[in-house]
Structures are given as structure tokens and as C-alpha cells.
């Protein structure tokens, strides 16, 4: 791989319910806590990987329900973009 890595975090406008809806509507990004695979993944650190961290600490460091982490896999770029677009716009 040359250039950029395949992991990004995004902060959504909206509430926890909206973030969960985006995750649910995604068809190509699998909800999972994993690294190193070839498939695209989506996670909500607030309720998954960082759930055991005290709430005050999570919020202090910007780990809110609106924060989603994407691990971009080897699927077609245009397909991934289209999937995120439909997931975000419902």
C-alpha cells in the first residue's frame, strides 16, 4: 500500500440514534471491532471498543456516540462511497 492508510474516523451531526441508523443502513461496511482484514468495517467506539472507559473520560476525549470509525477494505471505491451516501442520507 502506498499513500494513505485505510482507517478513518468521522463525527456525525445528529444524536446517538442517527449514528446507529447509519450503521444499520450500511450494506458494505460490517459492524465489527477488528483490524487487518480485507473487508470494510464500521464501529462506534463509544459503545464498543471504549465502552468500559468512564463516560466523563470518553466525552473529554471526544469519544461520543456520533464518532464512527471506518476501516476501508478492498471493495470498489465507488461502491463504498455510494453505500456511505445512502446510509447517511437514509
What CATH number is given to the structural domain containing 41?
3.90.1150.10
- pLDDT score at 90: 87
Q: Tell me how many degrees the CA angle 31-36-37 measures, rounded to the nearest 5.
A: 60
pLDDT averaged over every residue in the chain: 93
- pLDDT score at 2: 63
Neighbouring C-beta atoms of residue 31, cutoff 10 Å: 13
The whole-model pTM stands at 0.87
Instruction: Give residue 69's domain range.
Output: 7-89
- pLDDT score at 34: 78
- Between CA 58 and CA 10 the distance in angstroms is 16
CB contact at 8 A, 24 and 48 = no
Is 60 within the bounds of a domain?
Answer: yes
Task: Provide mean pLDDT across the span 49-66.
Answer: 97
Neighbouring C-beta atoms of residue 29, cutoff 10 Å: 24
**Number of domains making up the chain:** 1
Amino acid at each position: 500500500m502506498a499513500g494513505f492508510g485505510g482507517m478513518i474516523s468521522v463525527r456525525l451531526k445528529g444524536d446517538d440514534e442517527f449514528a446507529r441508523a447509519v450503521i444499520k443502513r450500511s450494506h458494505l461496511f460490517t459492524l465489527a471491532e477488528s483490524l487487518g482484514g480485507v473487508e470494510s468495517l464500521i464501529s462506534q467506539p463509544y459503545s464498543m471498543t471504549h465502552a468500559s472507559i468512564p463516560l466523563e473520560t470518553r466525552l473529554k476525549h471526544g469519544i461520543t456516540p456520533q464518532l464512527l470509525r471506518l476501516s476501508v477494505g478492498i471493495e470498489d471505491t465507488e461502491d463504498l462511497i455510494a453505500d456511505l451516501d445512502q446510509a447517511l442520507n437514509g
